[in-house]
Structure 1
């Protein structure tokens, strides 16, 4: 038995490109409801990389609580940078969506897929942007993106967001990552990850 176990562990190490998602602990049976916050906030990168550090100051994402009526959505794209005459900056971006939220709410209500036994998943890191539902009075809940058996977000939420209207988009510079080279003048050009 020990020999078989050692062989299995060795095969897992050699595979390297596969993993069983730790985030999908079989002991976790459900995602709790999100707690209502005073407002939607986007995390600020504090290391100059454009990536928030451990989602500092954000509450735990959860399901939409019963009785919470959303009228808008706020997404916080990750890995946002801005280029200007001074160089490349890390930045915080805030995108507000409005429109019919029916499809989005249905997608958010999808259950997480549980991994079957012996599932091997590609070792791919996914950067998931914080997503808030906002009520008419400004209160907000940070919502959980439903995931598949490998811990990757399902496509329903992104598809629903594409059908909403972008009501506003604000980008705020945070820290200079790379100064501009002398003699090179750049325009303000925001960029972000595809997540």
Structure 2
């Protein structure tokens, strides 16, 4: 279960492999020039949020994004291994395609890769570990980790976070009976609870 506290999430800035639609997984690909600009822009949004703790994946594309946010927020970064992107085994570096959806739906498992459901559980542990820090917490991680957030917040109306996008997530409370997410880098994203029962 996702710990029910408000938090912020930033997906790392763009890399050349994002641009070329290659599966990065846990290969440590650095930000490209666009990604650095996205990280700087995200940091300017973070500057005004009162962030007290930043927790990041140790992969450099996330850590460098977090470092810009850290400079803006004036707090330290805690690395959380469980926030790393999914391990795609032998298919890391492969061009995207049908194989990737087959992996997500359990029809295919690359040699040495994580099972998709195991990855979502591991990523949830990482987010919950981050949310034990003093809040407001900023989690800086990967698109796959955000899938886990969406799954466990029971949100199914947004497919992913864009590179460098700052998201605010608020748990149920008051008159709101489900999680709410808002993209602070653009218009609010109306979200609805998933009809699927998820833990």
Give the TM-score category using the shorter length.
under 0.3
TM-score, normalising length: structure 1: 0.26
More helix by share: 2
More strand by share: 1
TM-score, normalising length: structure 2: 0.25
